[in-house]
Structure 1
């Protein structure tokens, strides 16, 4: 049940990060989950663990990390299209 909860929370946080910067994550739901999980890892590495925690993710660092991940992915995908 813990893995399922992690996937759900990671997907929601990845989706919220995409809404905040108005970018779509390639891959839809799976892309949101990956962005949320990688963003959680990146945010914790850059800023540490602080703020409210849900499903093993600290909300503030995870959102900031997911925003960074989505921004990088969007930049790379935009460069590849041109």
Structure 2
């Protein structure tokens, strides 16, 4: 099941489709990958997994993605605005 979520996150984030759920899922996934290798061999506070999680959240906050405006205009998103 996780294997299907990775390509979905990889497509949703650049396209801007369901940005908040994709960014949240991607951030949770990267933090889980970071926690799987605890204690890390390098600096635990500047690990690349944590940076990727922060970048995903930042992209969602900034509203990145080209198709996000088209996605937001669909009836599905109008009924469930958390999908933006």
Same fold? TM cut 0.5: no
- TM-score, with normalisation over the residues of structure 1? 0.30
Taking CA–CA contacts closer than 8 Å with sequence separation of 6 or more, which of the two structures ends up with the larger relative contact order?
2
Instruction: State which structure, 1 or 2, has the greater radius of gyration over its C-alpha atoms.
Output: 2
